Structure 1
Amino acid sequence: MSFQSDVLSPEDQKFLYEEVAGVPLQLFDDEPTILLTDFPKNEDILKIPKPVTTVLSNEEYEGPFNFEVDIIPNGSKNGWFFSPTLNKVYMDIKAPFPIDFKVKQRPLHPLFIRVTPMYSSPQFAQECVSRCVNHEYAEATTSPHIMAHIRPHIIRCQNQSAFYIGDKTNNERLSIIIPLSFPQMGTNSIREMFEFTCKNSCPVPGMNRRSIEVIFTLEDSESQIYGRKTLNVRICSCPKRDKEKEEADDSGKTQPPKGKKRKLDKPAKKIVSNNQDLREFTIQIPIAGKHNIGHVLKYCHDLMAGEVARHSGNGVETTAPYTNALSKISTMIKDLNE
């Protein structure tokens, strides 16, 4: 074996030849090709509960592991206020809010906390709670690092291991799945920080002044529920004022004396003003985007449904115009989705 080089001197060439003589030149050993599909997917590493489409129960249930959700009452300096009497928290948008979770004698398999907002009124309980258009699309510009599937969620968790699941276009409820960790040394609870990204007063497809409650469920990877707690929430600009007002309204509700029978007076039928306009109108307005047509129809649907509920005690002649309009709007929504 010999070689010639225009760069190395004959002495250097001889030295290198002697160093490598008889040694096969192998820079790399053959290794099997590693494909992307060879790596385990996230769901293979940690299986999490699936999205839900049904109306969630709000009946509290401690379950076999004594599931507890604790609210720290002192929030006067943190942008939020908690009312124990109403089991309700009042806060401004994007105000960090701590919640402590406790379990006892937990099993060996992983547990999760599912956090799901739901409308308090049975009339709207089947609807998915999501953000308004203004806040959702503004975040796409101001915080482009936030993934698109997270933006519709009104609740955010500061836990980096949290999963945001659900798709409102498939009628799936928007939930946060948090792997339940173990308490730190010297404590018996796990604290998670939350914040809300939309207000109750935001227009459709937001909450549109409807009350909400947050359902906390303790689950395993198969969505088996081991505990459930609820918390009423109001996201507003003046949490202290709204808290004091609602507590005053609640305390003003007088209760009959115990031990005495009282006759229940039949509620008087509401008198409908003669100048109330019950005529049906049809309008044509230009709208860009099929999805925006759905938002407008949804708002009209909720508006007519609210009128039916408010006038339910005034007779069929009063509710009939609203019921007829509601039926026609429902048909339009169905045709739009087909």
Structure 2
Amino acid sequence: MEEQGFDAMPLSQDSFRKLWETVVTTSISNISTGTDGPREPWGTDGHMDMLLINDQVLTEGFDENLFELPPEMSTKDGVTPPASTVPVTTDYPGEYDFKLRFQQSGTAKSVTSTYSELINKLYCQLAKTSPVEVLVSKEPPAGAILRATAVYKKTEHVADVVRRCPHHQNEDLAEHRSHLIRVEGSQRAQYFEDPHTKRQSVTVPYEPPQLGSEMTTILLSFMCNSSCMGGMNRRPILTILTLETPEGLVLGRRCFEVRVCACPGRDRKTEEDNSTKTQNGTKQAKKRKSAPAPDTTSMKKSKSASSAEEEDKDVYVLHVRGRERYEMLKKINDGLDLVEKENKTKTKVSVKQEAPLPSSGKRLLQRGERSDSD
């Protein structure tokens, strides 16, 4: 009987909605509760009566959105969006004409911070303050912040996070001791680490210029040398300074290269000279071994001798006043002629090559000479 009853059940191939509508249920609200009046979904004890809710679902029909997942919660206002994996390093003045300016310190050996406009690079000493002046064309929105982030300059290193070397981290007791860039002179500076990219940044609220000034100055310090092993390890870095809203919207961006070294003035002068030579195309090439140049002294002598001979063929007339002076100059001229003749005779004799004598053995016979054996 049980098998016949099971086989008698219809095998519906319709949709779930049609199957739902074929279900006949008794309204749970009609069940007597022992009290008069309609039942309320909320009881006196503060709990919801799930029977009434289920009764409402069964009587009103099938809801197609019943099994759909709820939409994701939208991002709350005020939450900073995550930073991009590859940060942008191009300048963007934006609507507020965001600019940076550095103090002119020169290239003296005693300076602790100096900026090169030629190559857009800041040279500074370890943990020494570097003033950076911020200029805008109009007042940013209320609550605007300035954010400083360090990234590697070269493409092969741009994905790495810029951190301090372990040696300098262990010596520092601050909570943000792993951050390379530090803001000095402000108690409202905040240090962040992006949960997705692990990049570190520091922010400080933007303050409008004081009366009689056109710029706002922030003080940056770099807490590791560019040559530190385990840190930057001689890899060039860029500092990205952005003007942002409290929600993280970028209003302006400026980038500049940074070198943390022991002698900023000397390094700046050296790199500026190298850059100038490269631009002018006079960069010194490496010295290469080359074959010695041919000796041109003999050629010069032969040319000078031939030219002298040609000049000697010319005859010049000299007018001399007085008999005595004429005789004296004539003797000098005759002497020079005699010396010239003697020199020509000597040169003709030297040109004739004598037969070389053998180093050992019999002596060579001259023409007309007989040997001893004869």
Interval containing the TM-score (normalised by the shorter chain): 0.5 to 0.7
What is the aligned-residue identity percentage?
30
Counterpart contact for 1:78–1:95, Cα < 8 Å: no
Counterpart contact for 1:51–1:172, Cα < 8 Å: no
Q: Distance in 2 between matches of 1:213 and 1:91?
A: 13
Higher relative contact order (CA 8 A, sep 6+): 1
Q: Deviations over 1:43-102 (max 9, x none)?
A: x9x957455252211111110011111111226554112111011111110111101111
User: In the superposition, relative to structure 1, how do residues 105 and 139 fare at CA in structure 2: closer, same or farther (>3 Å)?
Assistant: same
Secondary structure at 2:133 match in 1: strand
Counterpart residue identity of residue 201, structure 2: S
Alpha-carbon shift at residue 104 of structure 1 (Å): 2.3
TM-score (norm 1): 0.56
Counterpart residue identity of residue 67, structure 1: F
Alpha-carbon shift at residue 217 of structure 1 (Å): 0.9
Q: Distance in 1 between matches of 2:163 and 2:151?
A: 10
Q: Distance in 1 between matches of 2:130 and 2:116?
A: 14
Q: Which runs of 5+ in 2 are unaligned?
A: 1-75, 282-374
Alpha-carbon shift at residue 171 of structure 1 (Å): 3.1
Match of 1:182 among 205, 208, 212: 208
Identify the range of structure 1 (125-134 vs 215-224) with the bigger mean alpha-carbon deviation: 215-224
Match of 1:134 among 123, 143, 167: 167
Pair 1:124 & 2:154 matched: no
Match of 2:229 among 187, 203, 209: 203
Pair 1:216 & 2:244 matched: no
Match of 2:199 among 170, 173, 177: 173
Aligned residues: 204
Secondary structure at 1:55 match in 2: coil
Instruction: Give the 5 Å matches for 1:205-284.
Output: 206-255=231-280
Counterpart contact for 1:52–1:172, Cα < 8 Å: no
Q: Which runs of 5+ in 1 are unaligned?
A: 1-43, 141-145, 257-338
**Aligned residue number for residue 7 of structure 1:** none
**Aligned residue number for residue 71 of structure 1:** 102
Alpha-carbon shift at residue 181 of structure 1 (Å): 1.1
Alpha-carbon shift at residue 106 of structure 1 (Å): 2.4
Q: Deviations over 1:271-315 (max 9, x none)?
A: xxxxxxxxxxxxxxxxxxxxxxxxxxxxxxxxxxxxxxxxxxxxx
Counterpart residue identity of residue 144, structure 2: L
Pair 1:153 & 2:184 matched: no
**Aligned residue number for residue 54 of structure 1:** 85
Which entry has the higher C-alpha Rg, 1 or 2? 2
Counterpart contact for 1:93–1:237, Cα < 8 Å: yes
What root-mean-square deviation, in Å, do the aligned CA atoms of Structure 1 and Structure 2 show?
2.3
Alpha-carbon shift at residue 182 of structure 1 (Å): 1.4
TM-score (norm 2): 0.51
User: In the superposition, relative to structure 1, how do residues 200 and 216 fare at CA in structure 2: closer, same or farther (>3 Å)?
Assistant: same
